Amino acid sequence: MSTRIGNAPCSWGVEFAKDERNPAWQTVLDQCSRAGYSGIELGPVGYMPEDPAELGDALAARDLTLIGGVVFRAFHDPAQWDDVMDGAVRTCKALTAHGARHFVLIDSISPRRAPTAGRGDEAEQMDTAEWKAYRDRIMTIAKMGYEEYGLIPEIHPHAGGFMDFEPEVERLLAETDPELLKICIDTGHCTYAGFDPIAFMQRHMERITYVHFKTTDPKIKAAAIANRTGFYDACGQGIFCNLADGEVDFPAVRKLLVDSGYEGWCTIEQDCDPRLDPDPEGDARLNREYLQSIGFA
């Protein structure tokens, strides 16, 4: 197996480009490199410099590769289509400027779904027409990334959005072209949504082209679901803990990746509140050391 381990700005609490709580982008690059990583994601477009020369020089100075980028926008809301397209085009341009190919599509948190994060049996569902339009918006962006920019579009299930629980992920996969839409599986969002990431990966390895490593603290998750805690509040409570401390069986994940011949990036995304995590660099280092201890290079 040939895998490379990366990290992402969300492990430093960076969810939105202009959040005043964000650490400086240079700090994130410095700490990511010092913690032992060879690659990093773009984060929300606009957080890191969109000038290719400025970001390229900064990455090279730290021996970091840009892995990919995420379009975390409201695919579920037709009124926000211009915002979705803006984020997608800018992300595509940033990725191609640095030779990155993972173009990850995430439906952002919806007020209609946030209260039922982790509660699939209670979650509101789209009607047939709304679903079709939603699916088609996702595929419009995927096709643009694939055909116009040469990227690998990947759907990423995420708590609190309309692409969250296993049945809707399976539905989208069944209704879309596997050449145009691959999967970025996030192990922690699987467990948050109540399904087994390993079983899901076993069914869909031929379509999985990118992996996000994340895990959930089962006690904090159970309390968050019981109390209907919002996604960002749950992050602040530590629902996404260090990889060695949560419920995802990473040795089993590694075995599955080895057995399937997976080659590529596995990127840690330990979403946190930037005000409450006292040592994101320390967490990044512990996660890197843990992965090395179970056989990841």
Query: Taking residues 72-90, what's their average pLDDT?
Result: 98
pTM above 0.95, yes or no: yes
Mean pLDDT rounded to a whole number for the chain = 96
CA angle 134, 136, 142 (to 5 degrees): 110
* Residue 231's pLDDT band (cuts 50, 70, 90): confident
Query: Looking at per-residue confidence, does 188 or 228 come out higher?
Result: 188
How many CA atoms within 13 Å lie on the side-chain side of 83?
A: 12
Contact 98, 149 (CB under 8 A): no
Over residues 110-139, the pLDDT tens digits come to: 999 998 999 999 999 999 999 999 999 999
* Residue 233's pLDDT band (cuts 50, 70, 90): confident
Over residues 42-53, the pLDDT tens digits come to: 999 999 999 999
- The yes-or-no verdict on residue 252 having pLDDT over 90 is yes
Over residues 197-224, the pLDDT tens digits come to: 999 999 999 999 999 999 999 999 999 9
Over residues 260-295, the pLDDT tens digits come to: 999 999 999 999 877 776 899 999 999 999 999 999
Q: What is the pLDDT of residue 235?
A: 86
Q: What is the pLDDT of residue 255?
A: 97
Q: What is the pLDDT of residue 1?
A: 52
d(CA 238, CA 6): 21
Q: According to the CATH classification, is domain 2-293 in 3.20.20.150?
A: yes
From the list 200, 112, 107, 123, the residue with the least C-alpha distance to 157 is 107
In the chain, the percentage of residues whose pLDDT exceeds 70 is 99
| Residue 270, CA distances (Å) to 85, 101, 125, 168, 232 in order | 26, 22, 28, 24, 12
Q: What is the pLDDT of residue 29?
A: 98
Query: Taking residues 13-18, what's their average pLDDT?
Result: 94
Residue spans per domain, the chain: 2-293
Q: What is the pLDDT of residue 27?
A: 98
- The yes-or-no verdict on residue 145 having pLDDT over 90 is yes
